[in-house]
Amino acid sequence: MKIGIPKETKRLENRVALIPDGARLLRDAGHEVYVEKDAGLGAGFQDDDYTKAGAVIVNSHEELFKVSEMLYKVKEPLPEEYNLLREGQILYAFLHLAAAGKLAKVLLEKGITSVAFETVQFNNGHLPLLEPMSEVAGRLAVQEGAKYLESTYGGRGILLGGVPGVPRAEVMIMGAGTVGLNAAKIAHGMGAHVSILDIDKERLKFIDNIFDSGVETIYSAAYNIERCLKKADLLIAAVLIPGWSAPKLIKKEHISLMKKGSVIVDVAIDQGGCCETSRPTYHDSPIFVDNGVVHYCVTNMPGAVPLTSTVALAEATLPYALNIANKGLGKAVKEDSALLRGINTYMGKVTHMGVAQSLGLPFRKLGPDDIR
């Protein structure tokens, strides 16, 4: 198969989908690997590293899209790339279509087979390709939150861990999944008082056990959310229903309950965000203030630490890319129901229920024998 790795075009996105060792693996399996010039630079990989691994360097973005049977990238294509997508291509990347109606329309019109990293899902609900980036984003959320709590940035001027004799900060985490757990680890480690909310009682039990009751677990009911919001210095929002747009659990009127100068890091912004006041921001202008509360809403947080994120992401996504290339998508999904769940659009139809319902589009259920 001809596999193309474009240079990412999202603002300040420095990750790349494939590392040179991965290119070698695909080459050794008999595939042609095309890498756009300078695609790996931001993550510390030179064109030469890819050439030595057997990849071909392609000079232009247009040419890369043209030559690829499977486009293997990190983030969703941007509007200026829509024209470059061509019928029958496989697009393998983070897509977050529930919050990207225009892109979904293009993929349907062009008959693109899109495999979204974030909906590849095991039978037990686990999201193996989202997980490594959620680990990064969860840890980073606390780092960023702590920074924007500094008064220089409009924050309350509170240190997460406090100091002896002075109270520590209150960190509230919505969603005790991968982001939530990783955020809790760092915030707890920095000495903050951490409360974490979820509707999954088993998950709350797990969190309670691993932190030896050092993190407060709270059932995510509206009255508990309101109570916690009044106390919070930092809110990290990380609720997910896979494939669906994020539920807006924090309403506009909730924001006025929060202390002036408190900070919201809405990690779920890639799925539309958990707060009604959130809107996407970029790494070079990551925050805005609404109702006295600092909002950080960067949709590609792991892009800020590309050396860590590229390797973590590439190692998770490569086995699936290899499988698709070796067997063809049809056979690969027949043998792997997790990958089947990753398919969001196929032959002009939305094939993920959450995406279809979030966008108000018809849904076509795919069976393991439906892909050619």
Instruction: List active site positions.
Output: 96, 270
Virtual torsion, Cα 18, 110, 300, 50, nearest 10 deg: 20
Interacting span for ligand NAD (CB under 6 A) from 1-9, 36-44, 251-259, 262-270: 262-270
Q: Under the criterion CB under 6 A, does residue 305 sit at the interface with ligand NAD?
A: no
Specify the stretch interacting with ligand NAD by CB under 6 A; choose among 13-21, 176-184, 313-321, 332-340.
176-184
- Interface with ligand NAD includes 99 (CB under 6 A)? no
From CA 177, how far away is CA 200, in angstroms rounded?
9
State the Cα–Cα distance between residues 83 and 91, nearest whole angstrom. Answer: 14
Give me the least distance between CB of 100 and ligand NAD, in Å please.
Answer: 12
- Span interacting with ligand NAD, options 108-116, 158-166, 173-181, 282-290, rule CB under 6 A: 173-181
Stretch that binds ligand NAD, among 30-38, 76-84, 144-152, 244-252 (CB under 6 A): 244-252
With b for 16 or more beta-carbon neighbours within 10 A and e for fewer, the 182-194 pattern comes to: bbbbbbbebebbb
Return the number of the residue (50 or 244) whose C-beta is nearest ligand NAD.
244
199 binds ligand NAD (CB under 6 A): yes
Nearer to ligand NAD, 101 or 161 (CB): 101
Q: Which is nearer to ligand NAD, 220 or 310 (CB)?
A: 220
Q: Amino acid letter at 153?
A: Y
| Residue entry with tokens 């790339």 | 81
* Interface with ligand NAD, residue 197, by CB under 6 A: yes
Nearest by Cα to 346 from 91, 8, 139: 91
Task: Mark residues 56-95: x for contact with ligand NAD by CB under 6 A, - for none.
Answer: ----------------------------------------
Per CB under 6 A, the list member of 61, 66, 86, 203 interacting with ligand NAD is 203
**Distance (Å) of CA 99 to CA 84, 95, 105, 272:** 21, 9, 12, 5
Strand order in the sheet with 70-72: 56-58, 32-36, 2-5, 70-72, 90-93, 113-116, 343-346, 349-350
Distance CA 372, CA 357 (A): 25
We find the least distance from the C-beta atom of residue 132 to ligand NAD, in angstroms, to be 9
Cβ at position 185, least distance to ligand NAD in Å: 13
- Of 22 and 302, which has the nearer Cβ to ligand NAD? 302
CA angle (52, 53, 58) in 5-degree steps: 80
Q: Which two tokens stand for residue 148?
A: 């924007």
Nearest residue (CB) to ligand NAD, 106 versus 268? 268
Rounded CA separation 185/196 (Å): 11
| Alpha-carbon span 346 to 351, nearest angstrom | 7
3-class SS at 218? strand
Contact region with ligand NAD (CB under 6 A), list: 164-172, 286-294, 300-308, 312-320:
300-308
Residue 179 contacts ligand NAD per CB under 6 A? yes
Which of 133, 169, 215, 318 forms a contact with ligand NAD (CB under 6 A)?
A: 133
Using CB under 6 A, list all residues that contact ligand NAD. 118, 127, 130, 133-134, 137, 174-180, 197-200, 203, 220, 238-241, 246-247, 249, 267-271, 298-302
